[in-house]
Amino acid sequence: MPGSTVTVTIGYLFSNCRLDIRQGKELNHERCPRSKLYQQSIKYLGPPGSDSSTEEELDEVQDTNTAAANASRYLKGGSDSDVDDDLPKRIVQPAKEKRFEEMVNTAEQMKQNFDKINKQLEKVMRITESVKKAPVLYIKTRVTLEDFLNETLAAEKKMSHSNSKAFNSMKQRLKKNNKTYQEEINKYRESPDQTEEVKVSEEDLCDKDPKEITSEWINQKHKEVVSSRGRKGTSPFELVDQLTHLMRIAKTPPQKLEILFSVVSAQFDKFVNNMFTILDLLVKHDNIVVTVELDENLVAFLERVDAEFFKSMQNVDPHTREYVERLRDEPLLLALAQNVHDYFERRGDFKSAAKVALRRVESVYYKPQEVYNAMRKLAEETRKPTFPESSRAMMDALVSLIYKHGDERTKARAMLCDIYHHSLMDEFGAARDLLLMSRLQDSVQRMDISTQILFNRSMAQLGLCAFRVGIITEAHGCLSELCSGQRVRELLAQGVSQSRYHQRTPEQERMERTLQMPYHMHINLELLEAVHLICAMLLEVPNMAVNSHDAKRKVISKSFRRLLEISERQAFTAPPENVRDHVMAATRALTKGDFEKAFWVLNSLGIWKLLKNRDTVLDMVKARIKEAALRTHLLTYSVSYESLSLDHLAKMFDLSDNQVHSIVSKMMIWEELHAYWDQPTRCIFFHDVQHNRLQTLAFQLVEKLSVLAESNERAMEARTGGGGLEYAGSGKWQDNMSYRGTQMDGTSRMVSLNRGVRV
C-alpha cells in the first residue's frame, strides 16, 4: 500500500478530532486519568447493573452495525490487535459447546488484554506527549471489541450462567470506558474505511491531512522529535524514520533543509552507535579473526564520517544554535576515533592506526587548551574515553606514532598540525625547528591543495605565535607573504575573495567551496592583519628613517609602504575605523616619535581581547614601540645633534638607562648610527660622515655588483642541482634525498623562514 494514501486517510480522521476539540466538545482525558478509570472498572467487575444509557448506546451501535462489519472485514489480516474477527463467524458453526468454552477463555483473555491496553495507552500518551488524542490503534481495538460484543450478543441467546456473567461484566466495563472515547469512536465509525499500518511511534506524525499541515505544526513536531534525541528510550533508528517522514511532508524548502539537518545528526548518532557496537564486539571477542578487508572498512568508515562531519560544519550557518549543536557531536566522534585507534594498536596494525591518528590530530590541533578541556569533558560524558590531560600530550603521542608508521602525506600533514599546535601553545622555537627541519617549505608546492592550505594556516599561526612571544622580525617574515595582496581569505580557505582580474570557472568555485574551513577552525583575519601591519610598522618606520633620502632603496614591507602612501595622499584624515586606519594612525605618531599616542591608538583596537595573555602582549607591543620610536628619533635627528645625553633619551622614551644603552650600542655596532659613547659624561657623540655624491654612487654600484654576483651563484646552484659552493655537488644532493621526510634528520636549519605561502 502506498504510504501516501495511508497518511491521507488517517490524517483525515484526526484532523476531525482536533476540530472537535476546537469546537469545545469535551474529551475528558485530563480530567479522567487512566488510573481512575481502571479503578472504576475493577468496581464494575461485581454484579452487573444496567441503565438506560447502555441500551441507547446499544441501539446506536447496532445501527451502525453493518458499517462496522464492513470495517472489520476490511481490517481482516491487517489488524494486530488481540481480537480476531474471525471468531464470531466460527461460533455459528457446529460443536457449539466446545466453542463456548473457548469463547469464555477468550473473553477472560480479552478482559486482561483490555486492562493491559488501558495501561499501555497511559504510557503511550505520556511518551508522545499528546494528551489530546488517543492513538488510533486504541480506538480501533475498542471499536472492534464493541462490535464483537454486540455480534456475540445477537448470535448467542443461550449462555451458561458463568459465561453470561462474565460477558455482562465485560460489556459494562467496555461501555464505561468507551464513554471517554466516544467522540473518537464515533468518528471512527463514520469513516471506517481507514487502514492501520503505521507504527505507533510514527502515528502522531503521520496522521494529518495534507491540507491541514501547517509549517508551524511541522516546526513544533520537529522540535519535539529533535528534543527527544539522546534521551533514554528513543532509539536513533526510530528518530531517523520519523524525521525522514517529516521531511517528506515539510512545506517549504528551508524547513525541509532544517529537518534534513536533524536527520543527519540522527543518522550520525545511529552511525556512531553502530560503530561502537562493532568495536565492542571486536574487543570482546578477541578470537574473531578479522580479515584485512574489515579493517580497511573500519578505517574507511571513520574517514568517511569524519569527512561528512567536516562537510556539514562547512555548510551549516555558523551563527546559528544548530552549529553549536553539531559541534557537540565532535567529542563523540573523537571518542569513536580513539576507540578505533586503540583497537588497531592492540592488533598491531600500525598503518591503519596512523591513518586514524591523523584524523584525530586534525580534529585536535587547532584547539587551545581551554577548548580541548571542554571537549574532553563532553567526550567523557558519553563513553569514558581517556583523553590525556593536556592537548600537547595527546598531540605528542599521536604525532610520534604517525612519524613512525604513516605515509608521506600523512606525515607531512601531521607535521603541519604539530607546528600549528606548538604555535598555539606559544612554543615558537619548537614550531620553527619543526618547520625548518621538515623542509616542508620546499616540498609543499608539490602537495595537494588541502595540505597547502594547512601549510598556510600553520604559517599564519606561527606568525601570530612569534608576535605573541615578541619576535617581531620572524613574525613579519611568516606573515608578510600571506598577508600582502588581497588573498588572505583565499589562502586560508576562510571565504572566497572576489578577484577582478581572473574569472573563476564554476568548477573552480565548487572546488574552492569544498576546501573551505569550518567556522570554528578559522584564524581571525582581523587579528592576522593587525599583527602583520604592526610588525611591518615596527620594522619599517626606523628603516624609513635610515633611508630618508632614498626611500625606495630598501623596502621591508611593500604592502605596508603602499598603504602608507595611500593614507598620506588623503587630504583629510578621519579618525581610524578599521585595523588598517588604526595602524596608519599609529605609524604617523611613531614617525614623529610620539610613542604614547601610537600605543594608545593600537590599544584601542578590538582584537586584543582575542588574545589569551593580552596584558603581556600589550606590554610587549609597548616596549617595541618605544624602541622603534627611539631608533627612529636617533636616525632622523642625528644630523642635527652634536651630542645627546643618555639620561635625556631615557626620560624621553620612558626606557631604563640600560635599555637605551643596549639599543644605541646595537645601532653603533651595526653601523646604522655613526656615533660613539662618551662614557664619563654619558653622552652620545655623533661623528656623521657625509659621503659625497660620487662616493654614494660608488657604494650603490658595489652593492648592485654583489647582488649580481649572488644571483649568478644562485643560478649556478639551481643548474647544478643544489651543489653548493662549499660542498661537492653529489654529496649534498644525496644527503637531501635521504633526509627528506624524516623528523629528526638534522639537515640544515639555516633556511630563512619567510619562504612562501602557496595555493
Partner 1 sequence: MAETKENYDLTPRVAPNLDRHLVFPILEFLQERQLYPDEQILKFKIELLNKTNMVDYAMDIHKSLYHTEDAPQDMVERRAEVVARLKSLEEAAAPLVTFLLNPNAVQELRADKQYNLQMLKERYQIGPDQIEALYQYAKFQFECGNYSGAADYLYQYRTLCSNLERSLSALWGKLASEILMQNWDIALEELNRVKEIIDSKSFASPLNQVQNRIWLMHWGLYIFFNHENGRTQIIDLFIQDKYMNAIQTSAPHLLRYLATAFIVNKRRRPQLKEFIKVIQQEHYSYKDPIVEFLACVFVNYDFDGAQRKMKECEEVIVNDPFLGKRVEDGNFSTVPLKDEFLENARLFIFETYCRIHQRIDMGVLAEKLNLNYEEAERWIVNLIRTSKLDAKIDSESGTVIMEPTQPNVHEQLVNHTKALSGRTYKLVTQLLEHSQGQAAR
Binding interface with partner 1 (CB under 8 A)? 428-429, 433, 437, 658, 661-662, 665-666, 668-669, 676-681, 685, 687, 689, 691, 695, 698-699, 702, 705-706, 709, 712-713, 716, 719-720, 725, 738-739, 742, 744-749
State whether residue 189 is helix, strand or coil.
Answer: helix
Quick one: how many helices (H) and strands (E) in the chain? 35, 3
**DSSP structure string for 477-533:** HHHHHHHSSS-HHHHTTSSPPP-SSSPPPHHHHHHHHHTPPPGGGPPPHHHHHHHHH
For partner 1, the closer CB: 13 or 628: 628
For partner 1, the closer CB: 651 or 704: 704
Rounded CA-CA distance 149/167 in Å is: 8
For partner 1, the closer CB: 597 or 740: 740
CB of 403 to partner 1, least distance (A): 11
Rounded CA-CA distance 690/556 in Å is: 25
For partner 1, the closer CB: 453 or 660: 660
CB of 695 to partner 1, least distance (A): 5
CB of 676 to partner 1, least distance (A): 4
Length of the chain counted residue by residue? 759
Residue type, 631: R
CB of 498 to partner 1, least distance (A): 41
CB of 700 to partner 1, least distance (A): 11
For partner 1, the closer CB: 24 or 746: 746
Give the closest residue to 238 by CA, choosing from 196, 272, 267, 273: 267
Rounded CA-CA distance 509/429 in Å is: 38
For partner 1, the closer CB: 105 or 695: 695
Give the closest residue to 629 by CA, choosing from 671, 606, 659, 607: 659
Give the closest residue to 747 by CA, choosing from 407, 755, 731, 714: 731
Cβ contact 462:503 at 8 Å: no
CB of 447 to partner 1, least distance (A): 21
Dihedral sign (CA 398, 399, 401, 402):
positive
CB of 707 to partner 1, least distance (A): 11
Residue 603 cell numbers, joined? 590599544
For partner 1, the closer CB: 354 or 583: 354
CB of 696 to partner 1, least distance (A): 10
For partner 1, the closer CB: 168 or 736: 736
Cβ contact 121:179 at 8 Å: no
Pick left, alpha or beta for residue 722 (phi over 0 → left; psi -120 to 50 → alpha; otherwise beta).
left
CB of 736 to partner 1, least distance (A): 11
For partner 1, the closer CB: 259 or 469: 469
CB of 462 to partner 1, least distance (A): 14
Rounded CA-CA distance 112/110 in Å is: 5
**DSSP 8-state class, residue 72:** H
For partner 1, the closer CB: 503 or 658: 658
Provide the β-strand partners of residue 684: 644, 677
Give the closest residue to 367 by CA, choosing from 490, 496, 518: 518
